[in-house]
Amino acid sequence: MLTNKRILLIIGGGIAAFKALDLIRRLRERGAHVRCVLTPAAAHFVTPLSVAALSGDKVYQDLFSLTDEAEMGHIELSRDADLLAVVPATADLLAKLATGQANDLASTLLLATDKKVLAAPAMNLRMWLQPATKRNVAQLREDGVLFVGPVDGSMACGEYGPGRMSEPLEIVAAISEALKSDTSIPLPANVGQFAQSLRGKRVVVTSGPTHEPIDPVRYIANRSSGRQGHAIATAAANAGAEVTLVSGPVTIDDPAGVRTIHIETAQEMLRAVKAALPADIFIAAAAVADWRVTTKNDNKIKKGDTAPVLQLAENPDILATIAGLSDGRPALVVGFAAETQDVTENALKKLAKKKCDVIVANDVGAGTDVMGGLENTVHIVTEAGVETWPKMEKSAVASRLVGLLSDMLERRQ
């Protein structure tokens, strides 16, 4: 996919710039030609010499270099590439691109290009979560800019959370996905509106656990961090979809550029999902509690001589309900199967019983660290069979799953 593809790599000024060096190597291993632009701040983290040695090409830094302008002006430099990748995409670079600034070489190239732009954000979690950054990201997605990451993780500043840049191989995969379609944009119509695999589509995702109250301080729940569901919502938004995320109680932040609805119980989740329809794709990634207490106590149940007896009722089956709709059923209905034994066998049974199109199955038994962890190993179960994916970060699982679903949706239309 990358053989002879021309990548213009804009390296931003952040500590994650060191990963751009490995990215250059990975791209060239796959046959791509890489030309690099260093922002002034980036030169404090990586040297022009190291970038030039790895790319095998001249490094561009100065907008007003007369020699460079004579050899290749900034307009030609931006148009000569098949794709522009901004790695790392700092808060400053995202702000410049969102507001159309062009006061240095990097921002001028981004404004002048007629090719796809892929950004790999990296910044402190507080910067990523700032309303200004969220607005900029939402605007850029609307303009057609593609995103990969960021992911949750430890940062150089010592904090942990969203804002860590995706790993080089994830960025390579995102670049490959972006280059599946034509890279040029007809001018002058629709300048800046880049083709995305789910552009114009509506996607509804559920994520996290549900909490079924017993009394004001106790509840029934499943173990779920919401990381996989939130990552899927982000990946779908990156692919251009209009995404509604229905989230149970989680401790992670809402994805940028995604409409998020917060609920507590399974019944509330079902109502929110129905209200979010119609949709082209429904992805039920939430770990919904199977049971609820029929009568919630208004006061805390006190410990006594005998254990209290709880009367339970079965919760609504959200996946089966949406898959079984006779009117307004999404074209693709995707369920998750968290199993501790006979993973694929149970997933195949669930596929048939729930009447959905895809089951994403994983082993959540003791020692797997899937619930709450950053990585996942999944089996994609369809009527055609079972495909097992290697262990990867949940953000990478999400990107690959969204790519698969966009292909399936295209074949059905």
Rg (CA), the chain: 23
**Any domain includes 79:** yes
Sign of the four-CA dihedral 239, 181, 193, 115:
positive
Look up residue 27 and give its amino acid: L
pLDDT band at residue 384 using 50, 70 and 90 as cut-offs: confident
Structural domain count of the chain:
2
Question: How far apart, in Å, do the first and last CA atoms of the chain sit?
Answer: 25
DSSP structure string for 175-228: HHHHTTS--B--SSTTTT----TTTT-EEEEEESB--EEEETTEEE-----SHH
Same-domain pairing of 47 and 151: yes
Task: List, edge to edge, every strand of the sheet that includes 242-247.
Answer: 259-262, 242-247, 202-207, 281-284, 332-339, 358-363, 378-382, 385-388
For the question of residue 157 being annotated catalytic, the response is yes
Query: What pLDDT sits at residue 191?
Result: 28
Q: What are phi and psi of 372, to 5 degrees?
A: 90, -15
Given a contact cutoff of 8 angstroms between Cβ atoms, the answer to whether 268 and 242 are in contact is no
Whether 74 has a pLDDT exceeding 80, the answer reads no
Given a contact cutoff of 8 angstroms between Cβ atoms, the answer to whether 396 and 377 are in contact is no
Query: What pLDDT sits at residue 187?
Result: 31
**Any domain includes 246:** yes
Of the listed ranges 11-15, 163-167, 188-192, the least confidently predicted one is 188-192
> 237: which residues sit within 8 A by CB, 6+ positions away?
141, 147, 243, 255, 256, 257, 258
Query: What pLDDT sits at residue 357?
Result: 95
**Any domain includes 315:** yes
pLDDT band at residue 385 using 50, 70 and 90 as cut-offs: confident
Tokens of 307: 């254990």
From the candidates 156, 157, 275, 312, give the one annotated as an active-site residue: 157
Whether 151 has a pLDDT exceeding 90, the answer reads no
Tokens of 195: 């083709």
Q: Which residues pair with 146 in a beta bridge?
A: 118
- Residue that is last in its domain, among 178, 213, 232: 178
Same-domain pairing of 219 and 165: no
- Residue that is last in its domain, among 128, 163, 178: 178
**Any domain includes 122:** yes
Same-domain pairing of 93 and 156: yes
| CATH number for the domain that contains residue 252 | 3.40.50.10300
Same-domain pairing of 168 and 230: no
Give the residue among 54, 119, 128 at the shortest CA–CA distance from 89: 119
Same-domain pairing of 86 and 135: yes
Same-domain pairing of 106 and 216: no
Give the structural domain span for 116.
6-178
- Residue that is last in its domain, among 143, 162, 178: 178
DSSP structure string for 219-233: EE-----SHHHHHHH
Given a contact cutoff of 8 angstroms between Cβ atoms, the answer to whether 88 and 124 are in contact is no
> pLDDT per residue over 192-241, tens digit each?
333 367 888 999 999 999 999 999 999 999 888 899 999 999 889 888 89
**Any domain includes 185:** no
**Any domain includes 1:** no
In the three-class reduction of DSSP (H, G, I as helix; E, B as strand; rest coil), residue 153 is classed as strand
Instruction: Give pTM, 2 decimals.
Output: 0.59
> pLDDT per residue over 264-287, tens digit each?
999 999 999 999 999 999 999 999
What pairing do the DSSP bridges indicate for beta strands 212-215 and 218-220?
antiparallel
